[in-house]
Amino acid sequence: MSTQTEPESETEIEESEAAATETESAVESPGDRRRREKGERAVEEEAKRKEAEETLDEEDTVQIKVFRYDPEVEGKQEPRFDDFHVPFFKGMTVLDALIYARDTYDSSLTFRHSCRQAVCGSDALFINGSQRLACQTQIADLDSETVRVEPLPHQDVVKDLVVDMEHFYDQMDSVEPYFDADELPDGDETQRQTPENREKVKMSTRCIWCGACMSSCNIAADDNQYLGPAAINMAYRFAMDEREGEIRKEDRIKIIEQEHGVWRCQTQFSCTEVCPKDIPLTEHIQELKREAVKSNLKFW
């Protein structure tokens, strides 16, 4: 395939040009010079890459349109989209295409990824207008000539497809996200839990903290303090676990019925639709609303 030979020729051209520019600049600090030269080279490489890609056979490739932004690199400070033509193979995922583009065309293309199997939750992205895990999204299933890849909406972009997850983590932390039973059996005994109760919390324990739900939620977009679907689901996971006990459950209900808690949810189901682990988030939020009502009635 023609793509195999292109990167090499790119490197050669790049090297001779770099040698030429190095002799010209002596007054700048070495760091500035290096950064400037790298910036210039990046622009040139970009032009060559485009030229190289155009020679690829259209039939065998898929075009991905990727959001680019870097606060400190000239030419990337204004957000833009770069097109990459990537050779297609059966079973190719959006993550495969991104990795190919990065390793072959532009090593500065930046995105989080690790496990490749939808369990680490690193690569939730906005793909063709919807929150999805890049590793779990088959390009063929998108049924679209170009694949548009953007960072998760409603989160600050750090660089390219990487968003700042701090706010998401803060919301998760705010619901006391840890098992904390009222009482435990003696050291060498396990707690009992009915299979039914385990089944009840099962879906809620599948959360991989990818942030897709939070990004899809209109309410979370407008109300920065809203706990959001993932954190509420986390609260659900513990509140519904019979091993924790009634006292702890009451505490948990108090957390989720606060001003920016469950009552903010307007049951639009957007979170449920995008969840890559099929967690019925909206149902869990609704159930906690009912629990909150029940709990309040008890004290009247």
Q: Is 115 in the site for other proteins (CB under 8 A)?
A: yes
Asked if residue 130 binds other proteins (CB under 8 A), the reply is: no
Pick the closer one to other proteins by CB: 24 or 188: 188
Is 202 a binder of other proteins (CB under 8 A)? yes
**Burial class of residue 288 (count of CB atoms within 10 Å of its CB; 0-12, 13-18, 19+):** buried
Q: Beta strands of 55-164 (E only): which ranges?
A: 61-68, 80-87, 124-127, 130-133, 146-150, 157-159, 162-163
Q: Could you tell me if 152 and 216 are in contact, meaning their C-beta atoms sit under 8 angstroms apart?
A: no
| The dihedral sign for the CA sequence 243, 247, 253, 256 | negative
CB closer to other proteins out of 20 and 297: 20
Q: C-alpha angle with apex 297: 293 to 300, nearest 5 degrees?
A: 145
- Mask for 5-34, x = binds other proteins (CB under 8 A): --x---x--xx--x---------------x
Nearer to other proteins, 254 or 294 (CB): 254
**Contacts of other proteins in 140-159 (CB under 8 A):** 158-159
> Kind of pairing, strands 80-87 and 61-68?
antiparallel
Considering only 103, 156, 170, 222, the residue that binds other proteins (CB under 8 A) is: 103
Could you say which of 61, 128, 130, 205 contacts other proteins (CB under 8 A)? Answer: 205
35 binds other proteins (CB under 8 A): yes
From 101-109, 214-222, 224-232, 291-299, give the range in contact with other proteins by CB under 8 A.
101-109
How many C-beta atoms surround the C-beta of residue 38 within 10 A? Answer: 14
Using CB under 8 A, which of 1, 51, 198, 290 touches other proteins? 198
The answer to whether 76 and 94 are in contact (CB under 8 A) is no
**CB of 91 closer than 8 Å to CB of 97:** no
Give the Cα separation of 287 and 265 in Å (integer). Answer: 12
Q: How far is the CB of 296 from other proteins (least distance, A)?
A: 26
248/289 with CB nearer other proteins:
248
Bridge partners, 133 (sequence order)? 124
**Looking at beta carbons only, is 241 or 291 nearer to other proteins?**
241
Q: Assess 219 for contact with other proteins (CB under 8 A).
A: no
Q: Based on the shown chain and the rule CB under 8 A, indicate whether residue 120 belongs to the binding site for other proteins.
A: yes
The pattern of x and - marking residues 242 through 281 that bind other proteins according to CB under 8 A reads -xx-------------------------------------
Compute the distance between CA of residue 159 and CA of residue 186 in angstroms, rounded to an integer.
50
CB of 58 to other proteins, least distance (A): 24
Query: For the CA atoms of the chain, what is the radius of gyration?
Result: 25
